[in-house]
């Protein structure tokens, strides 16, 4: 088992709307590499999230209960500024496909320009999670599909409740 880099703080930013099994995989792997991983929810209401920031924080807390060295936070504005404020030297990003890499590389280079010395580490998705995205999970469940194993069970339950609630409100 890999020992975490002593004193290295990594930030794993995202919307986590909702957290998926792919996210959990990256967090678990990152927690073995770094002494502290901050799972940071970007507050971006322009994305029209399904869950509020407090709801996403609660789902993350419940999903990450057994992890050590992992904390949950939120931020607004530039990731580079947030990383500087938190004393983080690493941005942790999961990569599913080459299309992810192109976008993430641009972000990594901009973050390094804004905060020299800030490194971005790309973790390729585990094969079993390489196709999962929060957007796809929400679409599949809203159309009645099975998302078991794609998200933690507690998240699946909350998604079912939220979708059912929306359907009740739109059918009246």
Identify whether 169 is a catalytic site residue. Answer: no
Q: How confident is residue 57, by pLDDT bands cut at 50, 70 and 90?
A: very high
The better pLDDT of the pair 58, 164 is held by: 58
- Choosing from 32, 47, 160, 167, the catalytic residue is 47
Q: How far apart are CA 157 and CA 151, in angstroms?
A: 10
25-43, pLDDT tens digit by residue? 999 999 999 999 999 999 9
Q: What is the dihedral of CA 148, 151, 157, 159, to 10 degrees?
A: -110
15 compared with 5, residue with greater pLDDT: 15
Mean pLDDT computed over 162-171: 77
Percent of the chain predicted with pLDDT > 90: 76
Q: Reduced to 3 states, what is the DSSP secondary structure of residue 65? A: coil
Give the number of other CB atoms < 10 A from CB of residue 108: 18
CATH number of 5-130: 3.40.50.620
Residue 96 CB neighbour total at 10 angstroms: 16
Q: Known catalytic residue: 35?
A: no
**Dihedrals φ, ψ of 19, to 5°?**
-65, 140
What pLDDT, on a 0 to 100 scale, did the predictor assign at position 31?
A: 95
Q: What is the pLDDT of residues 92-132, one digit of tens each?
A: 999 988 888 989 999 999 999 999 999 999 999 888 988 89
Handedness of CA 82, 21, 46, 112 (dihedral sign): positive
Examine the residue annotation and report whether 160 is marked as an active-site residue of this protein: no
Q: Which of 15, 21, 23, 138 is catalytic?
A: 23
Whole-number average pLDDT of the chain: 91
Q: Where are the domains of the chain?
A: 5-130
Confidence of residue 65 (pLDDT cuts 50, 70, 90): confident
Q: Which of 56, 63, 134, 158 is catalytic?
A: 134
**Residue 47 annotated to the active site:** yes
From the candidates 86, 96, 112, 162, which is the catalytic residue? 96
The one-character DSSP state at 98 is: H
């Amino acid at each position: 088992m890999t020992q975490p880099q002593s004193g290295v703080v990594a930030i794993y930013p995202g919307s986590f709307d909702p957290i998926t099994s792919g996210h959990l995989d990256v967090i678990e792997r990152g927690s073995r590499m770094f002494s502290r991983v901050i799972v940071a929810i970007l507050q971006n209401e322009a994305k029209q999230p399904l869950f509020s920031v407090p709801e996403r924080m609660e789902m993350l807390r419940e999903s990450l209960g057994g992890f050590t060295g992992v904390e949950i936070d939120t931020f607004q504005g530039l990731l580079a500024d947030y990383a500087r404020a938190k004393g983080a030297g690493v941005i942790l990003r999961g990569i599913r496909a080459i299309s992810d890499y192109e976008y993430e590389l641009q972000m990594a280079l901009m973050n390094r320009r804004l905060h020299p010395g800030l490194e971005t580490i790309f973790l390729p998705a585990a094969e079993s999670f390489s196709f999962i995205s929060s957007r796809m999970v929400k679409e599949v469940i809203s159309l009645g599909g099975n998302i078991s194993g794609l998200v933690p069970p507690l998240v699946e339950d909350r998604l079912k409740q939220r979708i059912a609630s929306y359907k009740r409100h739109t059918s009246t």
